A and B are shown apart, each in its own frame.
Chain A
């Protein structure tokens, strides 16, 4: 969609450990990752630049992942339709239906199953 050769993935995750881990794993899947550490900066970055996919942690500072997802879904045209994969340790034990209600396309529970995450990334970045 945006560039030939690789896919652009925006990762909203406040833990640098997980950011790094995702970078390493998705490097092999031909993805170029951009990091955002809180919910507001995800929205800001996404408004200024096009991406193919967003991976969004639920528990984020400033603005949580569910609110950020809802806000992205309100954007007009293609911008509002970007695939969003939610990830979370779900410490608050929220019902999974709430993530989909907010507009996420998929949800993967932490600790992350890499095979599952990779197959979802492939599914949503396929031409």
Chain B
């Protein structure tokens, strides 16, 4: 792993370098934007830390030029003394992945760098593991006794399309507080998921249906979002595992 630090202040550069090196990461430094950009192009680092307040080229200009470096996909983090909420939004809007505020605490710096190094790796290799309670092959085998493989394949695809529709319906129905129809959709999901072998999804829908019926709807919005996120991950894993 290689990290590039661009900072005009020699003391900061040395401090940041020594903290990150303790994590077993190789650190390169540049004292201004121009040399930082050419070093980034040469090294193709795994992450880049850019100080915001620098003479000549500031952190934002530096970021703009870094974004134009070919093949450079590293997460770029800002180091800054600014820390009010408006600044935060500005950094993220401009394209910084994250930012660290000064005075920089060693544990915050190393945890944040480690998080982003791990995270950019992860994009390429998401989990393709399918757990048994998530999807039970026996249910599919059962269907294959009665339906040809192409038909079964279509059925699963249809289920996925339908679930996505259901999820947006649930969100709409929740904003109009139509809990009766929410229960009916959840009931359908419970049944369908169960028949196809997605037992965990079936159980989740069932539980949400029960809660909603009992009038426990305070967390429903978040629960629907979570259920949606779960189904997306489930289908991703299902497809990468079986196709």
Contact = CB atoms under 8 A, between A and B. Distances in A.
A111 B116 contact: no
B14 interface: no
A106 B115 CA distance: 8
Given A89-B225, A95-B88, A16 B207 contact: yes
16 contacts: A17-B204, A17-B223, A17-B226, A17-B230, A20-B204, A89-B225, A95-B98, A96-B116, A97-B98, A97-B101, A97-B109, A111-B232, A111-B233, A113-B126, A115-B127, A116-B122
Contacts of B92: 93, 95
A99 to B, nearest CB: 8
A21 B98 contact: no
Contacts of A100: 107-108, 111-112, 115
Interface of B: 88, 91-92, 98-101, 105, 107-109, 111-112, 115-116, 119, 122, 126-127, 129, 131, 133, 200, 203-204, 207-208, 211, 219, 222-223, 225-227, 229-230, 232-233
A100 B19 CA distance: 15
A74 interface: no
Given A93-B92, A94-B88, A100-B111, 11 more contacts: A16-B223, A17-B227, A21-B230, A24-B133, A89-B226, A97-B111, A111-B233, A113-B126, A113-B127, A114-B127, A115-B127
Contact of A97 (B99, B222, B226): B99
A105 B52 CA distance: 26
Interface string A7-18: 000000011111
Contacts of A71: none
A17 to B, nearest CB: 5
Interface magnitude class on chain A:
20 to 34
For the complex of A and B, list the 6 residue pairs with the smallest distance between their C-beta atoms, beginning with the closest: A111-B229, A100-B111, A97-B112, A111-B233, A100-B108, A17-B226
A89 B223 CA distance: 12
A115 B115 contact: no
Contacts of B133: 24
A101 B108 contact: yes
Contact of A96 (B112, B203, B223): B112
Contacts of A18: 226
A42 to B, nearest CB: 16
Contact of B207 (A20, A106, A110): A20
